[in-house]
Amino acid sequence: MSTPFPFTAVVGQDDLRLALLLNAVSPAVGGVLVRGEKGTAKSTAVRALSALLPEVDVVPGCRFSCDPAAPDPGCPDGPHEPGPGAQRPARMVELPVGASEDRLVGALDIERALSEGVKAFEPGLLADAHRGILYVDEVNLLHDHLVDLLLDAAAMGASYVEREGVSVRHAARFLLVGTMNPEEGELRPQLLDRFGLTVEVAASREPEQRVEVVKRRLAYDADPAAFAARWAEEEAAVRQRIAAARALLPQVRLGDGALRQIAATCAAFEVDGMRADIVMARTATALAAWAGRTDVLAEDVRQAALLALPHRRRRNPFDAPGLDEDKLDQTLEEFSGESPDDDPDPDPDPDGGGGGGQPAPNAGPRGGDSGARPEEGDGGQPQPSGAQEQPAARASEPFRTKVLSVPGIGEGAAGRRSRARTEHGRTTGARRPQGALTKLHLAATVHAAAPHQRARGRSGPGLVIRRDDLRQAAREGREGNLVLFVVDASGSMAARQRMGAVKGAVLSLLLDAYQRRDKVGLVTFRGSGAEVALPPTSSVDAAAVRLESLPTGGRTPLAAGLLKAHEVLRVERLRDPARRALLVVVTDGRATGGPEPVALAGRAARLFAAEGVASVVVDCESGPVRLGLAGQLAGELGGTAVTLDELRADSIAGLVRDVQGNRRAA
């Protein structure tokens, strides 16, 4: 829309607005990641922020927004002489989830580079966002290689483009803002650490506040210009305050006392590396400037910790984000020292924006239990009729599993499990480009052009290259699959110690799926039927929560579980045809539910074999006498069977089996 929703008209979300404003005051803070459920004004607040940023001076005609007072000496459009410039509003550039690498960093005109020797470069979104805002909605769904490029540019303040021996570098300093819904999957901890601040947002549960949200939104939709005019005075005041805070920032003093508190806090929460300390220092300084002070106070350090540390404590993918505020207060008190930074009665922030030591409303669970699970209202599964339910068993400790993959070469979403034709990876050949040329195969292009040089009038050195000669590099990388777990929760599996081991194995496989960027789904069967405990999702956290509360008991309707899984895969194939599936059946192979349970289970298994679905059966049978039913099921599925012990990547049994298989193959 041409008229953005006013930033000051956003109801509530104090932490979100504060984090955005701190980055506007000091872009060196490093951006902000906004996590929360859908419909919580994440995108609205980010888009509204761009209207508050001061205008920027640029060199006229420079596509890279160079500052006329200090132009970039390496600007591709340069060199520029210092002098008067033109003013324009700060940009807010959006990076679509489906963007290509060329769209992000820019692209070289390969034809002109080869035929004319001209280094022609078309700037990408990183250049457009220079000295403005780069906004990535659903950043957790962005391909990993794009996230790496994005965060590298944000950290270095420059973008480097290397294509076929041609190198271009340009400045790229911007306020990076990412939003995400955790239900759709998490970012890797290494990438989480690259965002300066993080904020958890949720819709208000107060009826009056929700009413106000609806009123303002309806008023804005009815007449955006009139609604914006009503908030113009408040917008101007915040804009002036940002400018004043920017001017004051160089004068803010970060004393030794505040630095000791920052270092002690990061050490107390066992944060890896030093980035957290640096971000906290910059954030505390920005908080002081935003409050109009030149000294950093203990309250600034506390608020900086609440914004900069929660996401850095997430060591494992199933850890709940959050910060133990009691521990934080004890640490700050212990290291308060004799510093003048610790004013016992500081002036409060005039509008409450500076935090005043108030805890973040969504800072996470108290107590610092990194293994705590979020509450799930529907975590317990409905009790099938006729089942004798037993209490849910706790999962044993997860372990590193053997690599399971789908055979063949796919073309699905980027990931790390199975081979696939991708835009990134090792070069395996060349082909004629279909559409725009993205990755030139130089040798194949030269080979295609060489036989035609005499006909094209070339008698001396060099080549005449035409469009028909260009060849696209065919690359092979890795894709993420849909890993569908079918878990037997019947009475034959229900011994608590045994079910704990089974849950530990499934949790280990979920951890592997997280690391390989897969989607996961969970089907359980017991009693008289099967159910989809978790539809296919990118959130392995949700699968872990459902698994932990999984009840057990009753008969073993194996066929019902397989048929339910077959239906899930059929629907998912319609939604995402390119993503291949890996079926993981966790069972002892017994089938006791329904009429002719063994025959029906065999027919259901053969459906997967007929469709070529890759499958693995995790054999949970135990005891001195084993029937081998899981192995028979694997044969019906056309897949392989592994025992719980063999599932471990470092298991001796698995190693012996691999060696024997290699010898047979040789």
523 within 8 A of 484, measured Cβ to Cβ: yes
Residue 336: per-residue pLDDT:
80
Torsion region of 384: left, alpha or beta (phi above 0 gives left; psi -120 to 50 gives alpha)? beta
Contact 186, 317 (CB under 8 A): yes
Mention every residue, 6+ apart, whose C-beta is less than 8 A from residue 40: 13, 201, 202, 203
Q: Give, as one character, the DSSP assignment of residue 417.
A: E
- Averaged pLDDT, 600-616: 93
DSSP conformational letter for 517: T
pLDDT tens for residues 283-338?
999 999 999 999 999 999 999 999 998 888 755 556 656 677 888 888 888 888 64
Distance (Å, whole) CA 438 – CA 101: 9
Round to whole Å and give the CA distance between 263 and 252. Answer: 19
Whole-angstrom Cα distance, residue 216 to residue 48?
A: 14
Give every CB contact of residue 652 below 8 A, 6+ residues apart in sequence: none
Phi-psi region of 531 (alpha: psi -120 to 50; beta: other; left: phi over 0): beta
Closest by CA position to 314, among listed 251, 365, 355:
365
pLDDT of residue 206: 85
State the catalytic residues. Answer: 275
Structure tokens at 159: 């973008």
pLDDT at 20 (0 to 100): 92
- Tens of pLDDT, residues 379-405: 333 444 444 556 667 777 777 787 788
> Closest Cα to residue 186, out of 532, 498, 539?
539
Q: Which residue has the tokens 């019906």?
A: 636
Q: Which CATH superfamily is domain 1-54+90-99+131-151+175-250 in?
A: P-loop containing nucleotide triphosphate hydrolases (3.40.50.300)
Residues 244/292, Cβ–Cβ less than 8 Å: yes
521: tokens are 């789904």
What ranges in 138-274 are assigned the alpha helix state H? Answer: 144-156, 189-192, 207-222, 224-230, 232-248, 256-268
**Dihedral sign of CA atoms 202, 203, 204, 205 in order:** negative
**Mean pLDDT value of segment 46-59:** 86
> What are the tokens at 105?
């960093």
Question: Pick from 40, 36, 87: which is nearest to 60 by CA?
Answer: 87
Cβ distance 478 to 417 under 8 Å?
yes
Give the mean pLDDT of the chain: 79
Q: What is the pLDDT of residues 85-109, one digit of tens each?
A: 888 888 888 888 777 777 888 876 6
Confirm whether 1-54+90-99+131-151+175-250 and 481-665 share one CATH topology: yes
Residue 623, helix vs strand vs coil: coil
Q: Which residues contact 564 (CB under 8 A, 6 or more apart)?
A: 486, 523, 525, 530, 531, 532
**Of 53, 46, 167, which is closest to residue 105 (Cα–Cα)?**
167
State the virtual CA torsion across 455, 458, 460, 465 in degrees, nearest 10: -120
Choose among 586, 580, 426, 578: nearest CA to 498.
Answer: 586
Task: Find the mean pLDDT for residues 149-154.
Answer: 81
Band of pLDDT at residue 113, cut at 50, 70 and 90: low
pLDDT value for 399:
77
CB 86 within 8 A of CB 424: no
Distance CA 175, CA 27 (A): 6
The full set of domain ranges for the chain reads: 1-54+90-99+131-151+175-250, 260-372, 421-478, 481-665
Query: For residue 269, how far is the Cα from the chain centroid?
Result: 23
pLDDT at 358 over 70: no
Among residues 305, 105, 272, the alpha carbon closest in space to that of 192 is found at 272
Strand partners, 106: 123
Query: What's the pLDDT at 631?
Result: 92
- Amino acid identity for residue 129 in this structure: A
For 81, the token pair is: 């002489």
Per-residue tokens: 408: 């063949």
The count of other CB atoms within 10 Å of the CB of residue 489 is 33
How big, in percent rounded to 5, are the helix, strand and coil portions of the chain? Answer: 40, 20, 40
Higher pLDDT, 511 or 231: 231
* 475 within 8 A of 588, measured Cβ to Cβ: no
Coil, strand, or helix at residue 640?
Answer: strand
Give the Cβ contact number of residue 494 at 10 Å. 22
CATH class given for the domain over 481-665:
alpha beta
Mean pLDDT of 8-13: 86
Tell me the two tokens of residue 382: 């409905």
- Residue 41 CA to its chain's centroid (Å): 19
Q: How confident is the model at residue 375 (pLDDT cuts 50, 70, 90)?
A: very low
C-alpha–C-alpha distance, residues 325 and 302, integer Å: 9
Mean pLDDT in residue range 233-238 = 90
Q: Tell me the H-state helices in 54-117.
A: 101-105, 110-115
Query: Rounded to whole angstroms, how far apart are CA atoms 124 and 101?
Result: 9
Could you tell me if 556 and 581 are in contact, meaning their C-beta atoms sit under 8 angstroms apart?
Answer: no
**Residues 6 or more apart from 49 whose CB is under 8 A from it?**
7, 20, 21, 24, 92, 133, 177
Q: For residue 478, what are the contacts with CB-CB under 8 A and spacing of at least 6?
A: 414, 415, 416, 417, 418, 419, 420, 422, 425, 516
Closest CA to 345 of 303, 298, 305, 284: 298
Place 37 in a pLDDT band, splitting at 50, 70 and 90.
confident
Whose tokens are 């599964």? That residue is 381
User: Cα(468)–Cα(448) distance, rounded to whole angstroms?
Assistant: 8
Is residue 365 predicted with pLDDT exceeding 50?
Answer: no
Which pair of tokens denotes residue 350?
């005039």
pLDDT in tens, 655-666: 344 444 444 444
pLDDT at 495: 62
Mean pLDDT to the nearest integer, 477-494: 83
- Asked whether the beta carbons of 595 and 625 are under 8 A apart, the reply is no
Cis previous bond, 89, omega within 30:
no
- In terms of phi and psi (left: phi > 0; alpha: psi -120 to 50; beta: otherwise), the region of 210 is alpha
Strand locations in 99-204, DSSP E? 106-108, 121-123, 133-137, 158-163, 166-171, 175-180, 197-201
DSSP assignments along 246-273, one per residue: HHHGGG-B--HHHHHHHHHHHHHTT--S
Q: Quick: pLDDT tens for 551-561.
A: 788 888 999 99
CB 165 within 8 A of CB 113: no
CATH class of 260-372: mainly alpha
